[in-house]
Each structure stands twice: as C-alpha cells, then as structure tokens.
Amino acid sequence: MEASALLARLGGPEGIVAIDGPSGVGKSTYARRLVGDLRAGGARVALISTDHYATWDDPVSWWPQLVDEVIDPLVRGRDAFYRPMVWRDGVPTPGEEMRVPHASLIVIEGVSSARRSFADRLSLGLWLDGGTAAQRLEWAVARDGEESRAELMRWQEFERGWFAVDGTRERCVAVEPRTVGA
C-alpha cells in the first residue's frame, strides 16, 4: 500500500496504523519507506518499532509499557519519551532516552503490533508476508548476523503460535510482500 492509498483509506493523515507480519519479511523496510513518503507529502508521522521493546526472552508482554510511554502521550497531543532496547554483544539493555515528537499519525511496526488486545484502537492493520519460513529465516540472519540464527529460529516458532492464537492476519489488510527495496 502506497502513502496515497493509505491516506485515502484513513481519510487523512491521522490515526494509528500497525504493520505486522513474521520476522524477516521486510516490515521495517516497508515502514521506513511508507513513513518517508508520508512525511515528504507533509504528514506528521511518528514511527515506532516493536524491536525497541521486544527481546528474545520477552517477545510480547512489554506492550503496556509501549502504550503508556509512547502511544498514549502521542494520542494526547504530547511528545513521548522512552528508552529503546540496545543490543550489545547479543544482550538487550535500555538505551538512551529517545524523544518522539507529537504526530497526528502513528505507525507501529513489528511482530505483534496489530495484536487483538489493541485492535479497537487501530485505524488500520497492515499484514506483510512472503517467502517460506526458511527464506524468512535467511533474510533475518542476513540482517541480524549468523550468531542470531538459533534465537531467530526460536522466535519464528514463537511467532507462528502467536499469530495463530491472536488471529492477527485475519484482522489486517494484506500488503505485497518484500516489494519495498528488500
């Protein structure tokens, strides 16, 4: 979905959009391009990545923290502040505080961003998918490094279960996979 189609679907540059799908499929790349196009058109857009919260050992339970620290302040018209996870030698630790300027359109990208428990607050959920699990694993390893392979395999197993139970894909609009510079 291109920026103009997204804005038409939303009725303008405001709301909360989630970009979800399995790891390695190109969500971050797609989100960066989409947000860049929206900003080039004059929209005030905040881009939030679930990678700033998720860790190998805590893939989804951090969600209330993201809502409290980032989403709710932005929705209320305020800037948001949070400390994204920074990975050093394969270990996640909170990084330096980041400021997210208020924006009328919030784009959240990453695994679990279109979760059922938040669906009533989403203006739109987008689903990216593509390739086989083996291909997505190789794409993710190419991005994160060979030393991440075992954790990525464990992550893929988790996300398959998560998506099946959460029913994420069924609530989202499908977007062509890996069409954005991937």
Of 20, 19, 23, nearest to 153 by C-alpha is 23
Q: Are 111 and 140 in contact (CB under 8 A)?
A: no
Superfamily (CATH H level) for 3-175:
P-loop containing nucleotide triphosphate hydrolases (3.40.50.300)
Q: State the alpha helices, DSSP H only, in 41-176.
A: 63-66, 72-75, 133-144, 149-166, 168-171
Average pLDDT, integer, range 156-175: 96
Question: Would you state the pLDDT for residue 36?
Answer: 96
Residue-wise pLDDT tens digits, 79-94? 999 999 998 877 889 9
Of 18, 12, 10, nearest to 116 by C-alpha is 18
Average pLDDT, integer, range 70-86: 97
The whole-angstrom separation of Cα 177 and Cα 158 is 21
Residue-wise pLDDT tens digits, 97-137? 999 999 999 999 999 999 999 999 999 999 999 889 999 99
| Burial status of residue 17 (CB atoms within 10 A of its CB: 0-12, 13-18, 19 or more) | buried
**Residues ≥6 apart with Cβ < 8 Å to 18:** 107, 108, 109, 113, 114, 118, 122, 124, 125, 126, 172
Q: Are 53 and 95 in contact (CB under 8 A)?
A: no
Q: What is the pTM of this model?
A: 0.93
Let me know the angle formed at the C-alpha of 124 by 123 and 129, rounded to the nearest 5 degrees: 160
**Helix, strand or coil, per DSSP, at residue 94:** strand
Please report, for the chain, the start and end positions of each structural domain, with discontinuous segments joined by +. Answer: 3-175
Q: Is the pLDDT of residue 7 over 80?
A: yes
Q: Is the pLDDT of residue 59 over 80?
A: yes
